[in-house]
Amino acid sequence: MIRDRQVDYVATQIAIRLFADDDTPQVRQLFITVNQLLSPPELRDAFEAYIERALADEIDGISAYYGDRKGGFWVAAAGDEIIGTFGLEPAPEQAMELRRMYVKPSARRRGIARRMLQYAEDECRRRNIRCLQLSTAAIQTAALALYNAAGYDLVREEIADTLSNKTVGSGLRRYFFEKVLR
Protein backbone atom coordinates (compact mmCIF):
# COMPACT_ATOMS: atom_id res chain seq x y z
CA MET A 1 0.00 0.00 0.00
CA ILE A 2 1.16 3.52 -0.70
CA ARG A 3 0.18 6.27 1.71
CA ASP A 4 1.77 9.71 1.60
CA ARG A 5 4.53 8.26 -0.61
CA GLN A 6 5.61 5.83 2.13
CA VAL A 7 5.00 2.12 2.12
CA ASP A 8 2.72 0.95 4.91
CA TYR A 9 4.83 -1.84 6.39
CA VAL A 10 2.33 -2.50 9.15
CA ALA A 11 0.00 -4.06 6.60
CA THR A 12 2.85 -5.90 4.89
CA GLN A 13 4.22 -9.21 6.08
CA ILE A 14 7.76 -8.72 7.41
CA ALA A 15 10.13 -11.68 7.28
CA ILE A 16 13.41 -11.82 9.17
CA ARG A 17 15.77 -14.14 7.35
CA LEU A 18 19.45 -14.86 6.93
CA PHE A 19 21.32 -12.57 4.58
CA ALA A 20 21.90 -13.89 1.06
CA ASP A 21 24.65 -12.54 -1.18
CA ASP A 22 22.12 -11.14 -3.64
CA ASP A 23 20.86 -8.89 -0.80
CA THR A 24 24.14 -6.96 -0.94
CA PRO A 25 23.00 -4.06 -3.17
CA GLN A 26 19.98 -3.27 -0.97
CA VAL A 27 21.91 -3.73 2.28
CA ARG A 28 24.68 -1.52 0.93
CA GLN A 29 22.23 1.22 -0.04
CA LEU A 30 20.42 1.02 3.32
CA PHE A 31 23.74 1.33 5.15
CA ILE A 32 24.76 4.38 3.09
CA THR A 33 21.36 6.08 3.38
CA VAL A 34 21.05 5.65 7.14
CA ASN A 35 24.58 6.85 7.84
CA GLN A 36 24.25 9.86 5.56
CA LEU A 37 21.03 10.79 7.37
CA LEU A 38 22.74 10.41 10.75
CA SER A 39 25.64 12.64 9.75
CA PRO A 40 25.65 16.08 11.34
CA PRO A 41 26.73 18.70 8.77
CA GLU A 42 29.99 19.39 10.59
CA LEU A 43 30.91 15.68 10.44
CA ARG A 44 29.91 15.00 6.83
CA ASP A 45 33.49 14.24 5.71
CA ALA A 46 34.10 11.96 8.71
CA PHE A 47 30.89 10.04 7.99
CA GLU A 48 31.79 9.65 4.31
CA ALA A 49 35.19 8.23 5.32
CA TYR A 50 33.46 5.88 7.79
CA ILE A 51 30.98 4.73 5.14
CA GLU A 52 33.79 3.97 2.68
CA ARG A 53 35.78 2.10 5.35
CA ALA A 54 32.80 0.03 6.52
CA LEU A 55 31.80 -0.81 2.93
CA ALA A 56 35.31 -2.04 2.14
CA ASP A 57 35.95 -3.85 5.43
CA GLU A 58 32.53 -5.34 6.09
CA ILE A 59 29.39 -4.49 4.11
CA ASP A 60 30.66 -5.50 0.66
CA GLY A 61 31.72 -8.88 2.08
CA ILE A 62 29.08 -9.64 4.69
CA SER A 63 29.05 -13.42 4.23
CA ALA A 64 32.80 -13.69 4.70
CA TYR A 65 33.01 -11.08 7.45
CA TYR A 66 30.35 -12.63 9.68
CA GLY A 67 31.11 -16.22 8.63
CA ASP A 68 34.80 -15.88 9.50
CA ARG A 69 33.78 -14.61 12.94
CA LYS A 70 31.20 -17.38 13.52
CA GLY A 71 28.46 -14.78 13.68
CA GLY A 72 25.53 -14.12 11.41
CA PHE A 73 23.74 -11.40 9.49
CA TRP A 74 19.98 -11.09 8.95
CA VAL A 75 17.65 -8.89 6.98
CA ALA A 76 14.07 -7.83 7.57
CA ALA A 77 12.23 -8.01 4.28
CA ALA A 78 8.84 -6.93 3.05
CA GLY A 79 8.55 -9.11 -0.03
CA ASP A 80 11.69 -8.47 -2.06
CA GLU A 81 12.48 -5.18 -0.32
CA ILE A 82 15.07 -5.11 2.48
CA ILE A 83 13.81 -2.74 5.18
CA GLY A 84 16.10 -3.68 8.05
CA THR A 85 19.39 -5.34 8.92
CA PHE A 86 21.35 -6.61 11.90
CA GLY A 87 24.33 -8.79 12.57
CA LEU A 88 25.78 -10.73 15.47
CA GLU A 89 29.44 -11.37 16.08
CA PRO A 90 31.13 -13.04 19.04
CA ALA A 91 32.35 -10.75 21.81
CA PRO A 92 34.60 -11.54 24.77
CA GLU A 93 33.32 -13.43 27.79
CA GLN A 94 30.78 -15.68 26.08
CA ALA A 95 28.74 -12.79 24.67
CA MET A 96 27.60 -11.69 21.24
CA GLU A 97 27.73 -8.16 19.89
CA LEU A 98 24.77 -6.71 18.00
CA ARG A 99 25.93 -4.93 14.85
CA ARG A 100 24.43 -3.01 11.96
CA MET A 101 20.91 -2.63 13.36
CA TYR A 102 19.33 -0.40 10.73
CA VAL A 103 15.76 0.22 9.61
CA LYS A 104 14.88 1.94 6.37
CA PRO A 105 13.70 5.48 7.19
CA SER A 106 10.29 4.99 5.55
CA ALA A 107 9.71 1.83 7.66
CA ARG A 108 10.51 3.29 11.07
CA ARG A 109 8.16 3.57 14.04
CA ARG A 110 6.42 0.31 13.17
CA GLY A 111 8.11 -2.07 15.61
CA ILE A 112 10.57 -3.53 13.10
CA ALA A 113 13.67 -2.70 15.15
CA ARG A 114 12.03 -4.20 18.24
CA ARG A 115 11.29 -7.40 16.29
CA MET A 116 14.86 -7.59 14.99
CA LEU A 117 16.24 -7.03 18.50
CA GLN A 118 14.03 -9.82 19.85
CA TYR A 119 15.18 -12.08 17.03
CA ALA A 120 18.83 -11.32 17.86
CA GLU A 121 18.23 -12.11 21.53
CA ASP A 122 16.50 -15.38 20.60
CA GLU A 123 19.40 -16.29 18.29
CA CYS A 124 21.81 -15.76 21.17
CA ARG A 125 19.72 -18.03 23.37
CA ARG A 126 19.64 -20.64 20.61
CA ARG A 127 23.45 -20.52 20.59
CA ASN A 128 23.55 -20.75 24.40
CA ILE A 129 24.93 -17.22 24.65
CA ARG A 130 23.52 -15.43 27.66
CA CYS A 131 24.76 -11.88 27.11
CA LEU A 132 24.09 -9.52 24.21
CA GLN A 133 26.27 -6.43 23.94
CA LEU A 134 25.92 -3.43 21.67
CA SER A 135 27.05 0.12 21.21
CA THR A 136 25.52 3.18 19.64
CA ALA A 137 26.33 6.84 19.28
CA ALA A 138 24.72 9.73 21.12
CA ILE A 139 23.27 10.99 17.83
CA GLN A 140 21.17 7.81 17.54
CA THR A 141 18.47 8.88 19.99
CA ALA A 142 15.84 6.42 18.76
CA ALA A 143 18.29 3.53 19.22
CA LEU A 144 19.14 4.71 22.73
CA ALA A 145 15.44 4.78 23.61
CA LEU A 146 14.89 1.30 22.14
CA TYR A 147 17.75 -0.29 24.06
CA ASN A 148 16.74 1.37 27.31
CA ALA A 149 13.13 0.24 26.88
CA ALA A 150 14.29 -3.32 26.06
CA GLY A 151 16.15 -3.66 29.36
CA TYR A 152 19.73 -3.05 28.29
CA ASP A 153 22.10 -1.75 30.94
CA LEU A 154 24.59 1.01 30.18
CA VAL A 155 28.04 -0.38 31.03
CA ARG A 156 30.24 2.46 29.81
CA GLU A 157 30.53 5.43 27.55
CA GLU A 158 33.46 6.88 25.73
CA ILE A 159 34.45 9.49 23.21
CA ALA A 160 35.39 7.74 19.96
CA ASP A 161 38.44 9.30 18.38
CA THR A 162 39.50 6.56 15.97
CA LEU A 163 37.88 5.71 12.64
CA SER A 164 37.17 2.00 12.09
CA ASN A 165 34.52 -0.12 10.43
CA LYS A 166 32.68 0.09 13.78
CA THR A 167 32.88 3.80 14.55
CA VAL A 168 33.08 7.17 12.85
CA GLY A 169 35.47 8.43 15.50
CA SER A 170 35.56 12.25 15.28
CA GLY A 171 34.84 12.75 18.97
CA LEU A 172 31.36 11.19 18.93
CA ARG A 173 30.10 9.95 22.29
CA ARG A 174 29.41 6.22 22.22
CA TYR A 175 27.32 4.25 24.69
CA PHE A 176 27.95 0.58 25.39
CA PHE A 177 25.10 -1.59 26.62
CA GLU A 178 24.55 -5.21 27.55
CA LYS A 179 21.69 -7.41 28.56
CA VAL A 180 21.84 -10.72 30.38
CA LEU A 181 19.50 -13.05 28.51
CA ARG A 182 17.39 -15.47 30.46
**Mean of per-residue pLDDT scores for the chain:** 91
What's the pLDDT score for residue 167? 78
What's the pLDDT score for residue 1? 34
Residue of 127, 138, 57, 119 whose CA lies nearest to 91: 127
Q: What CATH code would you report for 2-180?
A: 3.40.630.30
Residue percentage of the chain with pLDDT more than 90: 85
What's the pLDDT score for residue 5? 38
Residue percentage of the chain with pLDDT more than 70: 91
Confidence of residue 177 (pLDDT cuts 50, 70, 90): very high
**Mean pLDDT along residues 14-21:** 97
Q: What is the pLDDT of residues 66-112, one digit of tens each?
A: 999 999 999 999 999 999 999 999 999 899 999 999 999 999 999 99
Gap between the Cα atoms of 173 and 160, Å rounded: 6
Q: Whole-structure pTM over 0.85, yes or no?
A: yes
What's the pLDDT score for residue 165? 62
Q: What is the pLDDT of residues 100-138, one digit of tens each?
A: 999 999 999 999 999 999 999 999 999 999 999 999 999
Of 25-29, 40-44, 169-173, which gets the smallest average pLDDT?
169-173
* Domain residue limits, the chain: 2-180
Residue 160, pLDDT > 60, answer yes
Instruction: Map the chain to HEC letters.
Output: CEECCEECCCCCCCEEEECCHHHHHHHHHHHHHHHHHHCCHHHHHHHHHHHHHHHHHCHHHHHHHHHHCCCEEEEEEECCEEEEEEEEEEECCCEEEEEEEEECHHHCCCCHHHHHHHHHHHHHHHCCCCEEEEEEECCCHHHHHHHHHCCCEEEEEEEECCCCCCCCCCCEEEEEEEEECC
